[in-house]
Structure 1
Amino acid sequence: MTMLTTKSVSGVSSPPIGSPGRTVLSNSNKQKLRYKKETRICTWNVKTMAKEGKIYNAIQEMERMKIDIMGIAEMRWPASGEMQIKDHKVFYSGKDNGAHENGVAIMVTAEVARCVKNFVPISDRVMLLQIQASPININIVQIYAPTADKQEEEALQLYESVNQIISRIPKHELLIVMGDFNAKLGAGYKTTYIGSHGLGERNDRGDLLETFAESKELVVLNTFFKQPVRKLYTWKSPLDKPGRIVRNQIDYILVNKRFRNSFKSVKTYPGADLESDHVPLVGDFRVKMKKIKRKKLQTHNLGLIKDENVSKKIQDNFNKELWELEENLSAHQKVAKIGTIVEKIKDKYLKPEVREKRKTWITDEILDLMEERRLCKGRPNDYRNMKILVRRKIREAKEKEVKERCEEIEALQKKHDSYNMHRKVKEATGSFKKKQKGNLTDATGNIIIEKEKKMNTWKEYLETLFYDQREDGNYNKNALSGPEITPQEVQAALKLLKCRKAAGPDNIQTEFLKLLDDRGIDVITEVFNNIYNSGDIPVEWLKSEFIALPKKPSAKKCDEYRTISLMSHLLKLFLKIIHKRIYKKCESQISPNQFGFVNAVGTREALFAIQILVQRCRDVNCDVYICLVDYQKAFDRVKHGKMIDILKETGIDEKDLRIIGNLYWNQTANLRFEDEHTEYVQILRGVRQGCILSPLIFNLYSEKIFREALKDVDKGISIDGNRLNNIRYADDTIVFADKLEDLQLLIDKITLHSNNYGLDINANKTKLMIISKNVINDCHLYTNGIQIERVTKYNYLGTNINEEWDNTLEIKVRIGKARSVFNQMSAVFKTHNLNLDTKMRILRCYVFSVLLYGVESWTLNEAISKKLNAFEMWLYRRMLKIPWTDKVTNVEVLRRMKKEQEIMNTIKCRKMQYLGHIMRNGARYSLLQSILQGKILGRRGPGRRRTSWLKNLRTWFGKTSPELFSENCHDNR
């Protein structure tokens, strides 16, 4: 059998290459696979794959033509990723903004998929797929070039991006560049890289392609094989018709010069059909591939624990094993033994989880009709009729699938199985989040391809992010204060742990811990006490694994990724107990200005505080100068030494302090990125990610900064003679005053003390906003000598605030977001296969919850109230499929829905309930009561005031403000 050969390298496999896309990496144990005698590769512009059923049509054509690797141009799938469809895998790269434009992809058979090493999505016009082979690896670049009507700069940018990626590929490896180049090379232009068997006349883009091929020593294969003209053209013009043939050759397969002879044939197949004006260009070459043995993480079906019989067996076995643990084992050894016991039980009682293959709606009848349509390509009328028939059958099959899914949703609702019901809703609407992919670039902006470089980049990033000159943690080794942990504390903490959470490094899930009986609880309590009294924490508990997730589809730098941490559930249980013990002492140190990670308050209270405060200031002509402070990675910049000093001041028990100190001083972490791990690095600053103690610790840290910064500073907004100058939600901070010079003083002090504690204000993201009835210009605010940008609107805690301090814009935005959610889930809302009760439940859960976020702080006028009512009716009309041309009144729509309008009633009730909630809990909401009722320094101007938050309630419920306050002070709900 003739094998792929190279002139310079014989029998040497190049080192593996990483990728910034989803990486499918091999371990050191690779198995050679003698692949087929010939491998068939193809490139095809399909016009779109976003059409229902077309991907299955493509698979059918691949199987008919025995194609192993199909490059696709004009895929028109947004974002980048990979998808398993039947026995084929699709790697695709599209636009990051969600548009169904351009796009490239490579679809491979199951045999080839097992040999895929790396996938690199470059852009919506270029992608790279790397395949493990012997003696050299195969690199396939699929492209889709701009059409002739686009500017030449776009074509030059395309070739530049291709140049950048192929320059990183070792020269001794096989390189294939293929796709729709939208260029005509023409016939009779024979050179070293261009053959004489082109078609038609050359154009300017053809010259560009020749220049590219020569510069990279790539041979344009389909110009070197003599074929009939019908086997040369790749595109048929819309002007083509009998008697006037208008066909061109604009799709090509290019290969490095040294591997030209490995291809035995390259030609088009005009009889293939995908409803495209292009035809597939197919090449045959011979190669031996290597199958990559993947490292499979074995998962067990934890759902079986819900079965009473299985649960009872696991519970008896688990607790029996715990009782029999040897007494002389250390806490470290017992923790390790518990992990071993859990693994043995999983292997014995919980079968490995086998995910069912997703049912496909496509039927054999539709596939047969697609084949029949293909055979009609030479008969235009018959072909057109078959197209209509195929589309009708596809529509019927999709409707049947929706009906079946809706029946499943109804059945789950009757069983009150909310978890699985909402999973089915997401399946039916296609709203499961796909794993996003981003590229990693170096300092010069070039994509990092090599695996080792990527891992080193991440390691350097972690070392820089968490580096600090930290003192040794030799403190309080002989801690005495701190009572023994009791079984009751363990049980109480265990009830607070949530199931269905990813396990940490020890692979012990909460589901097992919840099966502990009294004696099992005693064993865990003993282990915890050994750790608590000695302060010696198991090594595995000190290791963290970060997972990098892109914050946005176009993430390219390390700081554009979000790192999340997986922790041991046994450690979580232990720290729940510590948290319970220290919470009250720590919370008493936190001022009412902090609304983040504090019991009974949250974003709702923070939004209410700032909205009502500024609204009342406007009423009395009190100008408000606001600085929206953004800290740079605040949680990762906490200094451990200062953190411990702050915790000491709270007066928590010595043993609790020692546990926290040992957790921080001995921790290490690595990062998992595309199935690879960095080396472990020391974490020398920052709060522990994913730890239950971290929010509380950060609040104390932030509180210390603001207390020191604002000590003896009497600036801000005067309420009942007291000055209020900041509102905080964790690190999201708003600082304000009634004068610009006062605000500058506050910012200077906060910046100085923040720097002393290691926190830096990000001047680029920190903004200035001025709320006033007068036009105020030439106002400048500075931090660290850098001028802060003034803005007219800002997104704070997910809501829009603006200089006019009018909720109209925010409500319009929320209506837009709710409409978008409804449209995304239209498959559920518009179907006739769900009853109205189920639809309304889903509507309230997914649409109304988006619409009514922050509703407690809204102030509504008559115009925006009408918009909300109109939007509600718009939803109901879409659910009932009432076209706008039908003259159906709102009364009739509500009659068909069997309900009354509810959005405005919900808003009224929630605002009144919230007022009562605030007034009945004076100790917790003293600041909010003060903002709502206190006297703000200023004087009302002439003329009618704007509608206020309280005016809404007075109008809706026909009561005065004193009546609203007094009635809501008592629990008369």
Structure 2
Amino acid sequence: MAMLSTKSNSGVSSPPVGSPGRTVMSQPRGERLKCRSKLKICTWNVKTMSKEGKIENAIQEMKRMHIEIMGISEMRWPNSGEMQVENHKIYYSGKNDGVHEYGVGVIVSPTVAKCVTNFTPVSERIMLLQIQASPINISILQVYAPTADKEEEEVVELYQEINKIIEKIPKHEILIVMGDFNAKIGAVNRTQYIGAHGLGNRNDRGDLLEKFAEDSDLVVTNTFFQLPPRRLYTWISPQDKPGRIIKNQIDYILVNRRFRNSFTSVKTYPGADLESDHVPLVGVFRVKLKKVHRKIPKSYDMRLLKDPNMKMDVQAMLNEQVSNSVKDEMDDEQKVRKIGEIVQTLKEKHLKTDRSNKTKSWMTEEILNMMEERRKAKQDPERYKTIKIAIRRKIREAKENEATERCEEIEALQKKHDSYNVHRKVKELTGGFKRRQQGNLTDLDGNIILDKQSKIRIWKEYLETLFEDQRNNSFGMEEANDGPEILQQEVQLAITQLKEGKAAGPDDIQAEFLKLFDDETITLITKMFNNIYDSGRIPAEWLKSEFIALPKKPGAKKCEEYRTISLMSHLLKLFLKIIHKRIYKLCESQISPNQFGFINAVGTREALFSIQVLIQRCRDVNCDVYACLIDYEKAFDRVKHDKMIQILKEAGINDKDLRIIGNLYWNQSANLRVEGDHTENVRIMRGVRQGCVLSPLIFNLYSERIFSEALHEMEKGILLNGYRLNNIRYADDTIVFADNLEDLQALMNKITHESKQ
């Protein structure tokens, strides 16, 4: 087992250690990491990973050189995220504007992938990967510094940014900073941080690198090993001729000074090939990795229910178990829980699948063998060029063959009317499933948050702030007699309208299982719904929601730049669909024709067409048009519950429906999923419920009240056939019109005032 010991050497040098080549490294004072296991890590500027076949070539070289962690400089992939190829995990950080420029990445083996605890894409030049090891964790910063043609200020800013990240990493952890620094340290006198075995002469960037190493207490490991020049240089000038070749050492691996001797060898492998003018710098590192025990959600394949035999078997077992286990004497809470347990048991038994990546790759063994031949031909430029051209041709052919096969699969699925798999195959073909985007999270001061517990705390505080409001402590509607009984036909119709393929809520019941209910089970569900409807008491499982945060844009860093998607119970959705069906016509009749959002038979096209017709009409009659576009910030999350209930009551919603809506809103809570864990539950005290079928209807009524009160008796706007048109809306997106600037300002002042009430 790895262990950490303290040993003083009284200044005496240790005997040579590490790989062949007269490698010498003196024993430092202080602590030394002793581990039985050895890990090969590498940094390599590959010029680009955007070329087809490049990533597969890199993985092939990793396997050949037995490298577990490969840092990549100049990746040239836009945005940031992670993906998997041949069981290797690839983490990358690039430019957020979609440009294929700069970029860094790290490729890890399947063994190391299980030990990764955190990935932080900092910028297109810096990324952090944290790995759990024994007894001390490892943090790896992969770097790509600006080239010599860039201003020195850019380099200084890069080191400042790296230092900000280093300050957040626990001091006792192993820190490795590696990459293409575009700096020449040269063969200089040895210091605590720079060895005497560099290559060539130092430049100004080398001085900056040494200062950075000294300030951060890091040593440049590949300058401490006495090796022949061919094991030191990391870059060959691509513009030089065979008789005049310039080779420099500009890629480095840095580590905390206290862990310097954990590297037993750091040298280049000039025989490796990835169509780059750089060569890989490989370090052998003594460490023992520790597998991270992640909370991985179980995966179930609902498509298996498409098979008639499977569907028949599961349906029979589901209805039989519900009939035998769900008793009349149970309360509604127990019934909901029992149905969830039955569904979970059936999923485990019949629908459980593994999460391994089984996507077929276009890469062939023939192409990989040709890449190996190209590597062996590096000393023969003509043969190297010939093989390279042949590889490109083979890659084009392989990609074309793969596209043809995929298209044939899609056509076959279309003939079977399997729209779900057609959509899936099209996304695979177009690269929709290729990479999973990832953003950072920063605190109020803009500092990147690294540890999970801090992220959970920040998200909890954000949710509390977002949904906090002053309202009555209780809904206060105990008695409700007005409201018809829920019929079995209503439940059956609502079940047929449920959408399949949607994520399950906290009760983990998918809509596909609700569609397997037979008449007897539907009768039981109807009775349960009536109990809830008559009493107004909603099961606790239905009052819980789970949020998932998705970045609204590449490089999202603030909580506000994430979209929170809510997962709620499908049984609750079924119940609310019945209420929605009852109140829809009543509510829609009170919404003006100016609203195009969430209304049957109209949408964005009709709204845009109306705007175009209005402007064209004004041009025809030589009438000025002044317009102001309103973008409400988080409009759906700012709905006041007291006012919402009052509006629904005045709209004529019956008492039982109103009581269900009120109890649902007054007792709801939610948490947010953060890297497999969850925040504590937060009370939702304002806003309409995300993912709820009633929310669009409620929001339309709410916004209608605001505009009707704001524009009441205001004869301002565009006059058309005796009617004053002053606004067109699609949900919360609004355009306000007037025929002069003063009227437009007056309209906006009134709308602003009412919106704040």
Q: TM-score range by the shorter chain?
A: over 0.9
Separation of aligned partners in 1, 2:100 and 2:357: 29
Instruction: Give 1:400 deviation, angstroms.
Output: 2.0
Separation of aligned partners in 2, 1:58 and 1:544: 43
1:15-63: per-residue Cα shift (whole Å, max 9, x none)? xxxxxxxxxxxxxxxxxxx997311111111111111112121111111
Separation of aligned partners in 1, 2:420 and 2:685: 40
Q: Could you tell me which residue of structure 2 aligns to residue 716 of structure 1?
A: 717
1:467 aligns with 2:468: yes
1:658 aligns with 2:659: yes
Separation of aligned partners in 1, 2:78 and 2:475: 54
Q: Could you tell me which residue of structure 1 aligns to residue 289 of structure 2?
A: 289
Separation of aligned partners in 1, 2:7 and 2:83: 37
Separation of aligned partners in 2, 1:374 and 1:4: 41
Equivalent pair of 2:83/2:434 in contact (CA under 8 Å):
no
Separation of aligned partners in 1, 2:243 and 2:260: 37
Q: Could you tell me which residue of structure 1 aligns to residue 685 of structure 2?
A: 684
More off after superposition, 586-595 vs 407-416: 407-416
Equivalent pair of 1:196/1:223 in contact (CA under 8 Å):
yes
Q: Are the structure 2 counterparts of residues 209 and 104 from structure 1 closer, same or farther at C-alpha, using a change threshold of 3 Å?
A: same
1:128-171: per-residue Cα shift (whole Å, max 9, x none)? 11010111110111101111011112111211111111111111
Q: Secondary structure at the match of 1:200?
A: coil
Separation of aligned partners in 2, 1:362 and 1:165: 38
Q: Are the structure 2 counterparts of residues 224 and 739 from structure 1 closer, same or farther at C-alpha, using a change threshold of 3 Å?
A: same
Separation of aligned partners in 1, 2:7 and 2:449: 28
Separation of aligned partners in 2, 1:454 and 1:482: 45
Equivalent pair of 2:596/2:603 in contact (CA under 8 Å):
yes
Separation of aligned partners in 1, 2:6 and 2:173: 8
Letter in 1 for 2:342: I
The TM-score, its normalising length taken from structure 1, stands at: 0.73
1:768-797: per-residue Cα shift (whole Å, max 9, x none)? xxxxxxxxxxxxxxxxxxxxxxxxxxxxxx
Separation of aligned partners in 2, 1:391 and 1:605: 49
Q: Secondary structure at the match of 1:176?
A: strand
1:72 aligns with 2:76: no
Separation of aligned partners in 2, 1:7 and 1:192: 18
1:237 aligns with 2:240: no
Q: Could you tell me which residue of structure 2 aligns to residue 633 of structure 1?
A: 634
Equivalent pair of 1:145/1:181 in contact (CA under 8 Å):
yes
Separation of aligned partners in 2, 1:651 and 1:352: 49
Q: Secondary structure at the match of 1:547?
A: strand
Q: Could you tell me which residue of structure 1 aligns to residue 45 of structure 2?
A: 45
Q: Are the structure 2 counterparts of residues 436 and 547 from structure 1 closer, same or farther at C-alpha, using a change threshold of 3 Å?
A: same
Equivalence map 1:559-708=2 (5 Å): 559-708=560-709
More off after superposition, 472-481 vs 262-271: 472-481
Q: Secondary structure at the match of 2:411?
A: helix
Q: Are the structure 2 counterparts of residues 341 and 592 from structure 1 closer, same or farther at C-alpha, using a change threshold of 3 Å?
A: same
1:844-891: per-residue Cα shift (whole Å, max 9, x none)? xxxxxxxxxxxxxxxxxxxxxxxxxxxxxxxxxxxxxxxxxxxxxxxx
Instruction: Give 1:123 deviation, angstroms.
Output: 0.8
Separation of aligned partners in 1, 2:512 and 2:587: 31
Q: Could you tell me which residue of structure 1 aligns to residue 136 of structure 2?
A: 136
1:211-264: per-residue Cα shift (whole Å, max 9, x none)? 101111110011110001111111111244444331110000101100011111
1:251-302: per-residue Cα shift (whole Å, max 9, x none)? 0010110001111111111111111111111111211111112222112221
More off after superposition, 254-263 vs 712-721: 712-721
Q: Could you tell me which residue of structure 1 aligns to residue 15 of structure 2?
A: none
Q: Could you tell me which residue of structure 2 aligns to residue 87 of structure 1?
A: 87
Equivalent pair of 2:452/2:675 in contact (CA under 8 Å):
no
Separation of aligned partners in 1, 2:36 and 2:173: 20
Separation of aligned partners in 2, 1:672 and 1:717: 48
Equivalent pair of 2:221/2:252 in contact (CA under 8 Å):
yes
Equivalence map 1:339-488=2 (5 Å): 339-353=340-354, 357-432=358-433, 434-488=435-489
Letter in 1 for 2:361: T
Separation of aligned partners in 2, 1:498 and 1:369: 49
Unaligned runs of 5+ in 2: 9-33
1:339-358: per-residue Cα shift (whole Å, max 9, x none)? 11111222233243555511
Separation of aligned partners in 2, 1:5 and 1:625: 76
Q: Secondary structure at the match of 2:163?
A: helix
Q: Could you tell me which residue of structure 2 aligns to residue 740 of structure 1?
A: 741
Q: Could you tell me which residue of structure 2 aligns to residue 299 of structure 1?
A: 299
Separation of aligned partners in 1, 2:590 and 2:704: 8
Separation of aligned partners in 1, 2:749 and 2:151: 51
Q: Are the structure 2 counterparts of residues 451 and 391 from structure 1 closer, same or farther at C-alpha, using a change threshold of 3 Å?
A: same
Q: Secondary structure at the match of 2:41?
A: strand
Q: Are the structure 2 counterparts of residues 545 and 7 from structure 1 closer, same or farther at C-alpha, using a change threshold of 3 Å?
A: farther
Q: Secondary structure at the match of 1:401?
A: helix
Separation of aligned partners in 1, 2:404 and 2:75: 29
Separation of aligned partners in 2, 1:351 and 1:671: 25
Separation of aligned partners in 1, 2:221 and 2:544: 53
Q: Are the structure 2 counterparts of residues 239 and 694 from structure 1 closer, same or farther at C-alpha, using a change threshold of 3 Å?
A: closer
Letter in 1 for 2:517: L
Instruction: Give 1:615 deviation, angstroms.
Output: 1.1
1:333-383: per-residue Cα shift (whole Å, max 9, x none)? 111111111112222332435555111222222222211211111122222
Q: Are the structure 2 counterparts of residues 474 and 51 from structure 1 closer, same or farther at C-alpha, using a change threshold of 3 Å?
A: closer
The TM-score, its normalising length taken from structure 2, stands at: 0.94
Equivalent pair of 2:127/2:142 in contact (CA under 8 Å):
yes
Q: Are the structure 2 counterparts of residues 650 and 207 from structure 1 closer, same or farther at C-alpha, using a change threshold of 3 Å?
A: same
More off after superposition, 443-452 vs 655-664: 443-452
Equivalent pair of 2:2/2:36 in contact (CA under 8 Å):
no
Equivalent pair of 1:4/1:259 in contact (CA under 8 Å):
no
Instruction: Give 1:473 deviation, angstroms.
Output: 2.6
Instruction: Give 1:725 deviation, angstroms.
Output: 1.3
Instruction: Give 1:414 deviation, angstroms.
Output: 2.7
Q: Are the structure 2 counterparts of residues 634 and 87 from structure 1 closer, same or farther at C-alpha, using a change threshold of 3 Å?
A: closer
Equivalent pair of 2:232/2:267 in contact (CA under 8 Å):
yes
Q: Secondary structure at the match of 1:489?
A: helix
Percent same amino acid among aligned pairs?
69
Separation of aligned partners in 2, 1:681 and 1:103: 38
Separation of aligned partners in 1, 2:37 and 2:633: 58
1:125 aligns with 2:135: no
Equivalent pair of 2:2/2:35 in contact (CA under 8 Å):
no
Instruction: Give 1:507 deviation, angstroms.
Output: 0.9
More off after superposition, 470-479 vs 695-704: 470-479
Q: Could you tell me which residue of structure 2 aligns to residue 159 of structure 1?
A: 159
Separation of aligned partners in 1, 2:707 and 2:144: 55
Separation of aligned partners in 2, 1:239 and 1:304: 58
Q: Are the structure 2 counterparts of residues 397 and 332 from structure 1 closer, same or farther at C-alpha, using a change threshold of 3 Å?
A: same
Separation of aligned partners in 2, 1:552 and 1:617: 37
Q: Are the structure 2 counterparts of residues 568 and 73 from structure 1 closer, same or farther at C-alpha, using a change threshold of 3 Å?
A: same
Q: Are the structure 2 counterparts of residues 242 and 436 from structure 1 closer, same or farther at C-alpha, using a change threshold of 3 Å?
A: closer
Separation of aligned partners in 1, 2:351 and 2:372: 45
Letter in 1 for 2:583: I
Equivalent pair of 1:366/1:394 in contact (CA under 8 Å):
yes
Q: Secondary structure at the match of 2:147?
A: coil
Q: Are the structure 2 counterparts of residues 6 and 239 from structure 1 closer, same or farther at C-alpha, using a change threshold of 3 Å?
A: farther
Q: Could you tell me which residue of structure 2 aligns to residue 917 of structure 1?
A: none
Separation of aligned partners in 1, 2:376 and 2:82: 31
Equivalent pair of 1:4/1:262 in contact (CA under 8 Å):
no
Provide the aligned length of Structure 1 versus Structure 2: 731
1:672-705: per-residue Cα shift (whole Å, max 9, x none)? 1332311111111111111111111111111111
Q: Could you tell me which residue of structure 2 aligns to residue 252 of structure 1?
A: 252
Separation of aligned partners in 2, 1:537 and 1:290: 45
Separation of aligned partners in 2, 1:119 and 1:105: 11
